Structure 1
Amino acid sequence: MKKRILFVDDEPNILKGLQRSLRPLRKFWDMVFAEGGDNALKLLEKQSFDVIVTDMRMPGMDGAQLLKIVQDKYPMMVRIVLSGHFDREMIMKSVKSAHQYLSKPCEKQLLITTITRSCSLRDLLNKKALQQLLGGIGTMPSIPSLYARIMEELNSSDASVVSVGEIISEDIGMTAKVLQLVNSSFFGMPKHISNAKEAVILLGIDLVKTLVLGIEVFSKFSKSVLSIISVDKIHDHCVRTAVIVQKIAKLENMDKEKTDNAMIASMLHDLGKLILAEHFQDSYKDVIKMVQQKGIPVFKAEKEIFDVTHAEVGAYLLGLWGLPENIIEGIAFHHNPGKFIGQGFELCGLLHVAELLEHQERQQPGSSQKFNGLDEAYMERLGLLDHIPLWQDYLQRDYNE
Structure 2
Amino acid sequence: MSKSRILFVDDEIKVLEGLRRMLRPYRNQWAMAFVESGQQALEVLEKYTVDVVVTDIRMPGMSGSELLSIVKERYPRTVRIVLSGHSDLECIVKSVLPAHQYLSKPCKPEKLKAVIEQAIRVTQLVKDDTLRKIVSSLDALPVLPQLYDDINAELNSEEPSLQTISQIISRDVGMSAEILKLVNSSFFGFARHIGSVEQAVTMLGVNIIKSLVLTVHVFSVFDTKKSPHISINQLWEHCIRVSNLARRLCREDSCVREVADNACIAGMLHDIGKLVFASSYTDQYNEVLQQAREENRRIWDVEREALGTTHAEVGAYLMGLWGMPDDVVEAIAFHHAPVAALADYRPLTGVYVSNVLDHRHYIVNKHYVLPELDMDYLARIGLAGRVPMWERATQEYLEELRDGE
Secondary structure of 2:362 counterpart: helix
- Inter-CA distance 284–67: structure 2 relative to 1 (3 Å threshold): same
Secondary structure of 1:295 counterpart: coil
- Inter-CA distance 205–133: structure 2 relative to 1 (3 Å threshold): closer
Which residue does the alignment assign to 1:134? Answer: 132
Contact 2:360 2:371 in 1 (8 A): no
Which residue does the alignment assign to 1:355? Answer: 355
Which residue does the alignment assign to 2:239? Answer: 238
Task: Give the superposition deviation at 1:228.
Answer: 4.4
- 1:45-71, Cα deviation, whole Å (9 max, x unpaired): 232211100011111111111111111
Contact 2:9 2:55 in 1 (8 A): yes
- 1:179-216, Cα deviation, whole Å (9 max, x unpaired): 879xxxxxxxxxxxxxxxxxxxxxx9642358879xx9
Which residue does the alignment assign to 1:152? Answer: none
- Inter-CA distance 108–234: structure 2 relative to 1 (3 Å threshold): same
Name the CA distance, whole Å, in 2 between partners of 1:24 and 1:176.
Answer: 46
Q: Which has the higher contact order (CA 8 A, sep 6+)?
A: 2
Task: Give the superposition deviation at 1:140.
Answer: 2.5
- Inter-CA distance 362–20: structure 2 relative to 1 (3 Å threshold): same
Moved more, 39-48 or 26-35: 39-48
Contact 1:338 1:377 in 2 (8 A): no
Which residue does the alignment assign to 1:340? Answer: 341
Name the CA distance, whole Å, in 2 between partners of 1:27 and 1:211.
Answer: 39
Map 1:71-150 to 2 at 5 A.
71-123=72-124, 125-126=125-126, 129-135=127-133, 137=134, 140-142=137-139
- Inter-CA distance 11–99: structure 2 relative to 1 (3 Å threshold): same
- Inter-CA distance 357–211: structure 2 relative to 1 (3 Å threshold): farther
Contact 2:84 2:104 in 1 (8 A): yes
Which residue does the alignment assign to 2:276? Answer: 275
AA at the equivalent of 1:134: R
Name the CA distance, whole Å, in 2 between partners of 1:384 and 1:12.
Answer: 54
Structure 1, unmatched stretches of 5+, are 145-167, 182-203, 365-370
- Inter-CA distance 281–42: structure 2 relative to 1 (3 Å threshold): same
Which residue does the alignment assign to 1:257? Answer: 258
Secondary structure of 2:288 counterpart: helix
Structure 2, unmatched stretches of 5+, are 142-158, 173-192, 205-212, 365-369, 401-405
Task: Give the superposition deviation at 1:281.
Answer: 1.7
Name the CA distance, whole Å, in 1 between partners of 2:82 and 2:140.
Answer: 13
- 1:307-362, Cα deviation, whole Å (9 max, x unpaired): 2110000001100111100000011111011111224x622221111011111221
- Inter-CA distance 171–238: structure 2 relative to 1 (3 Å threshold): same
Secondary structure of 1:98 counterpart: coil
Task: Give the superposition deviation at 1:34.
Answer: 1.4
Task: Give the superposition deviation at 1:99.
Answer: 0.9
- Inter-CA distance 388–220: structure 2 relative to 1 (3 Å threshold): farther
Map 1:1-400 to 2 at 5 A.
1-123=2-124, 125-126=125-126, 129-135=127-133, 137=134, 140-142=137-139, 169=160, 174-177=165-168, 206-208=195-197, 220=220, 222-223=222-223, 226-343=227-344, 346-363=346-363, 372-400=371-399
Q: How many residues align?
A: 344
Name the CA distance, whole Å, in 2 between partners of 1:233 and 1:271.
Answer: 13
Contact 1:56 1:64 in 2 (8 A): yes
Name the CA distance, whole Å, in 2 between partners of 1:179 and 1:348.
Answer: 22
- Inter-CA distance 210–355: structure 2 relative to 1 (3 Å threshold): farther
AA at the equivalent of 2:87: F
AA at the equivalent of 1:141: L
AA at the equivalent of 2:348: C
Which residue does the alignment assign to 1:188? Answer: none
Name the CA distance, whole Å, in 2 between partners of 1:36 and 1:180.
Answer: 42
Task: Give the superposition deviation at 1:87.
Answer: 3.8
- Inter-CA distance 278–171: structure 2 relative to 1 (3 Å threshold): farther
CA RMSD in angstroms comes to 3.0
- 1:260-315, Cα deviation, whole Å (9 max, x unpaired): 11010011011111111211122112211220122111111101111211000000
Name the CA distance, whole Å, in 1 between partners of 2:294 and 2:342.
Answer: 34
TM-score scaled by length of structure 1 = 0.78
TM-score scaled by length of structure 2 = 0.77
Name the CA distance, whole Å, in 2 between partners of 1:270 and 1:358.
Answer: 13
AA at the equivalent of 2:393: Y
Percent identity reads 39
- 1:146-174, Cα deviation, whole Å (9 max, x unpaired): xxxxxxxxxxxxxxxxxxxxxx9567973
